[in-house]
């Protein structure tokens, strides 16, 4: 039996450590999963080509199979979708978990709007994403200051994602004191 491989992709301004990422890595490793959490480049000014390019450089196509799972937070979710969109045609993965994923953000300052603009306005080919995966879980919070709950419907419509809406978890960051998300473990 092949070992499940999990790739964790943090959000804008984040890192591979802290909050629920540390808890999740520990829990997954206890279950015998191989876990890789990346520190994405230029995290304060994320660019699509740099982030997707980073995954292409650091995940060899041979590593990707039905036992491969991606877990993303915020902009990391978009990065995963854009990576899958560009994958070789015949590659299938086991699934994706998106935490506080979005296609459109709210409550941004002018500098943040400039950074978010390409992410919000460069279309994703969902058919290509679905060629590689049809097993999605998207987790949202009812009080996320950046991600409106309307985004949940988009994940359901575009990807057929199973949706979980949690109470008062904010944007699932350290500031929101979110130390664990047990639903991720259940999904895997």
Q: Could you report the per-residue pLDDT of 22-63, keeping only the tens digit for each? A: 999 999 999 999 999 999 999 999 999 999 999 999 998 888
Q: What is the percentage of the chain residues whose pLDDT exceeds 70? A: 99
Q: How far apart are CA 42 and CA 128, in angstroms?
A: 27
Residue 74 falls in which region: left (phi positive, over 0), alpha (psi -120 to 50) or beta: left
Q: What is the mean pLDDT of the chain?
A: 95
Low-confidence ranges of the chain (pLDDT < 50): none
CB 86 within 8 A of CB 160: no
Of the chain, the percentage scoring pLDDT greater than 90 comes to: 91
- Whole-model pTM: value is 0.96
Quick one: CATH architecture of 5-187?
3-Layer(aba) Sandwich (3.40)
**Phi and psi at residue 55, to the nearest 5°:** -65, -40
β-sheet bridge partners, residue 5: 34, 68
pLDDT, residue 61, reads 86
Task: Name the H helices within 89-149.
Answer: 110-121, 126-132
The domain spans of the chain are: 5-187
């Amino acid at each position: 039996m092949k070992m499940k491989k999990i790739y964790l992709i943090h959000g804008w301004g984040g890192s591979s450590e802290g909050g629920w990422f540390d808890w999740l890595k520990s829990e997954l490793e206890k279950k015998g999963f191989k876990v890789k959490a990346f520190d994405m480049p230029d995290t304060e000014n994320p660019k699509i080509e740099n982030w997707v390019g980073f995954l292409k450089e650091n995940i060899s196509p041979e590593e990707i199979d039905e036992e491969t799972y991606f877990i993303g937070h915020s902009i990391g979710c978009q990065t995963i979708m854009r990576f899958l969109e560009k994958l070789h045609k015949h590659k299938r993965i086991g699934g994706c978990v998106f935490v506080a994923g979005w296609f459109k953000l709210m409550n941004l300052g002018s500098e943040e709007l400039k950074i978010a603009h390409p992410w919000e306005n460069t279309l994703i080919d969902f058919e290509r994403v679905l060629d590689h995966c049809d097993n999605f879980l998207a987790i949202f919070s009812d009080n996320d200051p950046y991600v409106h709950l309307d985004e949940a419907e988009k994940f359901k419509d575009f990807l057929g994602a199973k949706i979980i809406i949690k109470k008062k978890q904010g944007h699932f960051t350290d500031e929101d004191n979110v130390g664990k998300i047990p639903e991720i473990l259940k999904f895997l």
